[in-house]
Amino acid sequence: MHGMVFEDLAVEVMAELPTDEARGEVLTLVEAVRKDPRAWLDVRDPGSVEEIREAFGARCWIQYMPHSGAIEVREIGWAG
């Protein structure tokens, strides 16, 4: 997947998702974020220089950092 980097924790969560459908839902959200990374909520702590954002799908969420032309997925959550 061009323009995406997954942190170790995010990779572990992806591997533990219960179905291919669940992985597909997360990857669909990641792709939507990659296309427009600044459309989602900025959740960084006051004074932080790291831009951290969160995006939500129907049963999943991701926390990521936008970089020029790419995103770094830090965490993935699954509520399904």
For the chain, the structural domain boundaries read 4-78
**Residue 57: strand, helix, or coil:** coil
Q: Which DSSP letter does residue 79 get?
A: -
State yes or no: pLDDT of 35 exceeds 70.
yes
State yes or no: pLDDT of 80 exceeds 90.
no
Please tell me the predicted confidence (pLDDT) of residue 68.
Answer: 82
Buried-exposed string 13-39: b where 16+ CB fall within 10 A, e elsewhere: bbeebeeeebbebbeebbeebbeebee
In angstroms, the CA 50 to CA 48 distance is 6
pTM of the full structure: 0.89
What CATH number does the domain located at 4-78 have?
A: 3.30.2310.20
